[in-house]
Amino acid sequence: MNPSDLETMTLQQLRATRRSFFSAEWMLALQDADAATKASAAQQMLAVNHVIVVMENKELSDIRDQLIANEAPLIAGAQSLTQALQDLSKVQGVLTAVSGFLGIVSRIVPLISNV
């Protein structure tokens, strides 16, 4: 079992344990317990919940860090696209091509119209 699978399995077990602390069976079992036992049960529940949140935070922060590492090319891509849009808006390059096309048309049309 690799470390990732082990973490996943541990987290699953902790989550199941936390849920069981909220079951009717657990509450009834603790009903007649002495104060020290109840305090110990409460501390254990807090500890289980703490570990769950810490492990979940670690899982999420690992992914977040990788996402942030992916930002530079995304930002560069967005800037490149925005620049391309501005270039298209200026239509200079495209107009040059159209102008060239029309130049060809203007040379061919007299030949056609002479027919």
Partner 1 sequence: MRKPEFNISGIRSLMLMAALLVLAGCATKQARVDQFAAFAATGTAFTKAVDPALTASFDATATTDSMVLLQARDALPSSDRLTALRQADADLDARLAILGGLRRHLGVLQSYFDALASLAATRAESSGMTAVAQGFVNDLGKLNPAIAKATIGGNTIESLIAPAADFLYVAHQSNVLNAELKRNAPTIDRELRLMSAALQALATQYASDLGVVAEKNYRDKIALPFAGSGSLDSNWSDQRATLLQSTLDTTSLQAAANAATSLRTSFVALVENRLTPERIAALQTDLGSILTTIENGRAAKETQQ
- Length of the chain counted residue by residue: 115
Residue 41 CB, nearest approach to partner 1 (Å): 7
Near partner 1 in 41-100, by CB under 8 A: 41-43, 45-46, 49-50, 52-54, 56-57, 59-61, 63-64, 66-68, 70-71, 73-75, 77-82, 84-85, 88-89, 91, 93-95, 97-99
Our separate counts of H helices and E strands in the chain read 5, 0
Q: Does 105 bind partner 1 (CB under 8 A)?
A: yes
What own/partner pairs with CB < 8 Å and gap ≥ 24 does 99-102 have? Answer: none
Near partner 1 in 7-26, by CB under 8 A: 15, 18-19, 21-24
Decide: 11 and 52 in contact? Cβ < 8 Å.
Answer: yes
Decide: 44 and 52 in contact? Cβ < 8 Å.
Answer: no
CA distance 78 to 32: 64
CA distance 63 to 72: 16
Residues lying near partner 1 in the complex (CB under 8 A) are found at 15, 18-19, 21-24, 27-28, 35, 38-39, 41-43, 45-46, 49-50, 52-54, 56-57, 59-61, 63-64, 66-68, 70-71, 73-75, 77-82, 84-85, 88-89, 91, 93-95, 97-99, 101-102, 105-106, 108-115
